[in-house]
Amino acid sequence: MATQTETESGRPYAPSVRARRPTDFDLTLPALGLLILFFVLPVAILLTRSVTEPVPGLGNYAELLGSSTYLRIFANTFIVSGLVTLVSLLVGFPVAWALAIMPSRVASVVFAILLLSMWTNLLARTYAWMVLLQRTGVINKVLIGMGLIDKPLPLVNNLTGVTIGMTYIMLPFIILPLYGVIRKIDPAILQAAALCGANRWQSLVRVLLPLAMPGMAAGALMVFVMSLGYFVTPALLGGTANMMLAELIAQFVQSLVNWGMGGAAALVLLVVTLALYAVQLRFFGTDRMGGR
């Protein structure tokens, strides 16, 4: 068949001569098979355990949703994720904007820095933050040395530490889609706004922000959903009072070896994540997720 393709059309994979061209779906089969075997199935087994261990029934869910401690952890998971999303947007938007308007040679350097941080080991990055943020760390020492503060600021082992550490990790995920969207905005529109008498603030709030909204929403949702399941950073930079759901699941599975409760907590997280994903699809569609 290959020879036929080449002789008759002069280029391979010409649709007209192929007996059957693999459809898009066929091409996903290997990946899909892998996912089902190594992800869907094990997750299903773990979730089954949540209603069978230690005794059949919904006891694990009752315990999970009936305990103020676990509800606090749920709430905390959402608070941290929300905070990280908010700060990521506030910090990420100016960066994305700057990237979109700066000369491409400079932009490529900034991109390299951004990506380089993504390629560095997560644990190494998190420990680096610990060294920077702790009471005897670099930041506090410098501030005290400059006479700006007398006592070290509590920057780590608390919500501040988690937010700083996670925002830093999430930034690329918000900057990249935003950059894509802002790049597509015709600079002439902003000029037009200025010509119509809009000041800088009005141009930003009434023109640029609405146009960048799809990218902001896509990036924000992605960061929020990713944050919901985060584990290493909150475990290392947060105090025990800032525990998030993923850490609770790890505790159930690895330390307490209580897979029923671990499965139940995992299902709750999965349902919330899927619901948010559904919202994302409903309002933005898959096309917009990359900021296109």
When binding is defined by CB under 8 A, the residue of 228, 237, 264, 268 that contacts other proteins is 228
Q: How far is the CB of 254 from other proteins (least distance, A)?
A: 4
Q: 107: Cβ–Cβ under 8 A, 6 or more apart, which residues? A: 99
Distances (CA, A) of 65 to 62, 72, 75, 228: 5, 10, 11, 17
CB 124 within 8 A of CB 233: no
Q: Is 277 in the site for other proteins (CB under 8 A)?
A: no
Of residues 135 and 184, the one with the C-beta less far from other proteins: 135
Q: How far apart are CA 274 and CA 177, in angstroms?
A: 21
- For residue 55, the minimal CB distance to other proteins (Å) is 15
Q: Is 246 one of the binding residues for other proteins (CB under 8 A)?
A: yes
User: Among residues 212 and 272, whose Cβ is nearest to other proteins?
Assistant: 272
| Torsion sign over Cα 49, 233, 130, 123 | positive
Instruction: Candidates 16-24, 68-76, 104-112, 206-214: pick the segment binding other proteins (CB under 8 A).
Output: 68-76
Number of shown-chain residues binding other proteins (CB under 8 A): 43
Q: How many CB atoms lie within 10 A of CB 204?
A: 16
- Is residue 278 a contact point for other proteins (CB under 8 A)? no
Q: Which long-range contacts (CB under 8 A, 24 or more apart) does 274-282 make?
A: 276/221, 276/224, 276/225, 276/228, 277/225, 279/221, 280/218, 280/221, 280/225
Stretch that binds other proteins, among 12-20, 69-77, 109-117, 210-218 (CB under 8 A): 69-77
CB of 40 to other proteins, least distance (A): 10
Which one of 14, 128, 211, 232 is in contact with other proteins (CB under 8 A)? 232
Contacts of 150 (CB under 8 A, 6+ apart): 144
Q: Which residues contact 164 (CB under 8 A, 6 or more apart)?
A: 129, 133, 155, 237
| Residue number, 74 or 93, with CB nearest to other proteins | 74
> Is residue 289 involved in binding other proteins (CB under 8 A)?
no
If binding is defined by CB under 8 A, does position 229 make contact with other proteins? yes
Residues 117-176 that bind other proteins (CB under 8 A): 134-136, 157
Quote the CA–CA distance of 82 and 154 in Å, as a whole number. 21
290 scored as a contact of other proteins (CB under 8 A): no
CA distances from 195 to 190, 198, 203, 282, 286 (A): 9, 7, 11, 37, 36
> CB under 8 A: which stretch of 9-17, 189-197, 246-254, 277-285 binds other proteins?
246-254
Residues that bind other proteins (CB under 8 A): 38-39, 41-43, 45-46, 67, 69-70, 72-73, 134-136, 157, 226, 228-232, 235, 239-241, 243, 246, 248-251, 253-259, 262, 266, 269, 273
